[in-house]
Amino acid sequence: MNPPLPDLHAADPADSIVAQPRRHRTALVPVAVARVAAPAMHLGTAAVVLALGKWHARFVAGYDFSESARFAWALAYIGLLVLAAYAVGLPDRVAPGHAGVRSLAAVASATLAISACQLALGSAVLPRFVTVLAPAALVPGYVLCARLARRPPPSGRAVLAVLEGADGHVLRRDLASRASGVPRLDAILPAEQAATAGGLLAAALASNAATLVLGPEALGDQRVLDQAAALHARGVRVRSLERFYDEVLAMSPGREASRASLLFDIGELHGVAYDRLKRVLDAVVGVAGLWLLVLVTPLVLVANRVANRGPLFYRQPRVGRHGAVFAMYKFRTMSAGEPSGPWTAEDDVRVTPFGRWLRRTHFDELPQMVNILRGDLATVGPRPEQPQYVALLRRTIPFYDVRHLVRPGLTGWAQVNRPYGASPHDALDKLRYDLYYLRHQSLLLDMRILVRTLRDVVGGTGR
């Protein structure tokens, strides 16, 4: 007999048909100001660096800044500052008490990177006038933008959903799991109640709903659709459950709608150009990561002698593209001789103190650069699981094997959207993010995942 399917729909007895609004902390600034904080920070970064470069060229060194090689290096410095700020979560993902430290870290890391380029080239690609004064001006500016980015919760964005109990509970849970940036679920109506004369119209007016979400049953009832059309004419957005998840939560719905999630093209299967470009990206990341692996390995080897005695590397079978099993490499993080056992939990007692540091910094993943260069892994894709877990998940989760149509990844959409997972229930939730990724595969999404991974690692919130 097959194991039971992990239940996304298990509800508390106290759950009611109406979803209560979540409580939010009071914001310090209006929405309009919060929205311009990030653009203002990036434009300010460019203005400060270029203005200082122009000033130095005209009044100190006497050359044409825009015609010199230093102009290109100033643009590179701006790019590094923007990337570093995003990596540490500026301006809108930083707690007020951490804004100063994160701002200093972002500016310092970008400045050290440009200084390393100067040392490698043996010439001053940017004058000290810029690399000293720019950080002094940018750090307080970044702190100010971080404070301005504290926007209030969404208002006037209430959602009315016409769903049956199971799908309604999952939607409520998924929206409640997001700290901010998503609309409020005001109420859930069964399709039969919404189909009564004026039932849906009355509920929408009572909740002042801005968006109406229709489940499969509602979409099949003409009485509901007629009232939805009337609401649409009044300016209410009407979305299917599938599309609402796609637009707002960037994942697939629960298992009741999973069949519809299969009706899409997959970039690696149906886009030849994308597949080739992705392999180029994998090669670039793999070669760069290999150099970092060469630099880090002696340090890990020495630390292992003291705090993590045993083999340096750990090989573990994982399931890859088309179900093929391959050996994935890692720096060992558990005590030598420990069996794999169940899913590794975030606070697993088998992990040594030094191994825990390796996991927190993600240095334990560096040997997987070899897997990327061999073609076992892509840079971005669904994370591969161990064969014994795949066998279980195939029996318990419908369409789980869809994720094996593409090459697994070093990082993925599920990893940057969910905390550490260690159960079949977590695997089911991650599959919903994997389905979204397969549906929207593109180099732009891959780059977005890589940058978010960098931000999570630098910010200490990596998955």
Mean residue pLDDT of the chain comes to 83
In a shared domain, residues 310 and 423: yes
Which of the two residues, 460 and 32, has the higher pLDDT score?
32
Helix, strand, or coil (residue 187): strand
In a shared domain, residues 51 and 130: yes
For residue 234, give the CATH number of its domain.
3.40.50
Q: What pLDDT was estimated at residue 15?
A: 40
Q: Quick one: tokens of 173?
A: 């849970």
Q: What pLDDT was estimated at residue 269?
A: 78
Q: How confident is residue 12, by pLDDT bands cut at 50, 70 and 90?
A: very low
> Domain boundary at 211, 245, 262, which?
262
Q: What pLDDT was estimated at residue 31?
A: 61
Q: Which residues contact 145 (CB under 8 A, 6 or more apart)?
A: 37, 38, 40, 41, 44, 90, 91
* Strand-pair category, 313-319 with 325-331: antiparallel
Q: What is the 3-state secondary structure (H, E, C) of 322-361?
A: HHCEEEEEEECCECCCCCCCCCCCCCCCCECHHHHHHHHH
Q: What pLDDT was estimated at residue 142?
A: 93
In a shared domain, residues 310 and 430: yes
In a shared domain, residues 244 and 375: no
Residue whose C-alpha is closest to residue 143's, from 188, 180, 106, 194: 106
In a domain, 99, yes or no: yes
Q: What pLDDT was estimated at residue 239?
A: 93
In a shared domain, residues 79 and 61: yes
pLDDT tens-digit readout, 123-155: 778 888 999 999 999 999 999 998 888 765 444
Least confident among 48-62, 85-99, 310-324 = 85-99
In a shared domain, residues 274 and 126: no
In a domain, 19, yes or no: no
Residue whose C-alpha is closest to residue 318's, from 395, 268, 371: 371
Percent of residues, the chain, with pLDDT higher than 90: 39
In a domain, 35, yes or no: yes
Helix (H) or strand (E) holding 315: strand 313-319
In a domain, 433, yes or no: yes
If you compute the radius of gyration of the chain from its CA atoms, what whole number of angstroms results? 26
pLDDT above 70 (res 28):
no
Q: How confident is residue 76, by pLDDT bands cut at 50, 70 and 90?
A: very high
Q: What pLDDT was estimated at residue 261?
A: 58
Residue whose C-alpha is closest to residue 186's, from 19, 24, 22: 19
User: What burial class does residue 261 get, using C-beta atoms within 10 Å of its C-beta: 0-12 exposed, 13-18 middle, 19+ buried?
Assistant: buried
In a shared domain, residues 413 and 291: yes
Q: How confident is residue 451, by pLDDT bands cut at 50, 70 and 90?
A: confident
In the predicted model, what is the mean pLDDT of residues 410-426?
A: 80
In the predicted model, what is the mean pLDDT of residues 422-447?
A: 85
In a shared domain, residues 50 and 85: yes
pLDDT above 60 (res 29):
no
Helix, strand, or coil (residue 376): coil
In a shared domain, residues 172 and 128: no
Q: Which residues contact 220 (CB under 8 A, 6 or more apart)?
A: none
Residue whose C-alpha is closest to residue 314's, from 278, 351, 286: 351
> Domain boundary at 105, 121, 148, which?
148
* Strand-pair category, 211-214 with 185-189: unpaired
Which of the two residues, 92 and 84, has the higher pLDDT score?
84
First to last CA, the chain: 34
Q: What pLDDT was estimated at residue 271?
A: 79
Query: For residue 89, what is the DSSP state?
Result: T
In a domain, 361, yes or no: yes
Kindly write down the DSSP assignment for every residue of 94-163, as one continuous string: S-GGGHHHHHHHHHHHHHHHHHHHHHHHTS-SS-HHHHHHHHHHHHHHHHHHHHHT-PPPP-S--EEEE-
How many domains does the chain divide into? 3
Q: What pLDDT was estimated at residue 338?
A: 62
Range of the domain at 421: 267-459
In a domain, 4, yes or no: no
Confirm if 236 and 204 have CB atoms less than 8 A apart: yes
Q: How confident is residue 382, by pLDDT bands cut at 50, 70 and 90?
A: very high
Confirm if 288 and 454 have CB atoms less than 8 A apart: no
pLDDT above 60 (res 390):
yes
In a domain, 16, yes or no: no
Q: How confident is residue 347, by pLDDT bands cut at 50, 70 and 90?
A: low
Max mean pLDDT among 52-61, 94-103, 372-381 falls in: 372-381
Least confident among 275-284, 349-358, 369-378, 418-427 = 418-427
pLDDT above 90 (res 22):
no
Confirm if 379 and 410 have CB atoms less than 8 A apart: yes
Q: How confident is residue 433, by pLDDT bands cut at 50, 70 and 90?
A: very high
C-alpha to C-alpha distance for 82 and 76, rounded to whole angstroms:
10
Q: Rounded to the nearest 5 degrees, what angle is found at the Cα of 40, between the Cα atoms of 104 and 444?
A: 85
In a shared domain, residues 245 and 329: no
> Domain boundary at 89, 119, 148, which?
148
pLDDT above 50 (res 5):
no
Confirm if 375 and 321 have CB atoms less than 8 A apart: no
Q: What pLDDT was estimated at residue 160?
A: 93
pLDDT tens-digit readout, 215-240: 988 999 999 999 999 999 999 999 99
Q: What is the dihedral of CA 400, 402, 407, 412, to 10 degrees?
A: -60
pLDDT above 70 (res 421):
no
In a shared domain, residues 278 and 425: yes
Q: What is the dihedral of CA 262, 268, 269, 272, to 10 degrees?
A: 140
In a domain, 12, yes or no: no
Question: Alpha helices, DSSP H only, in 362-442?
Answer: 368-374, 387-396, 413-417, 424-439
Q: What pLDDT was estimated at residue 270?
A: 77
In a shared domain, residues 144 and 228: no
Phi, psi of 187 (to 5 degrees): -155, 155
Q: What pLDDT was estimated at residue 339?
A: 61
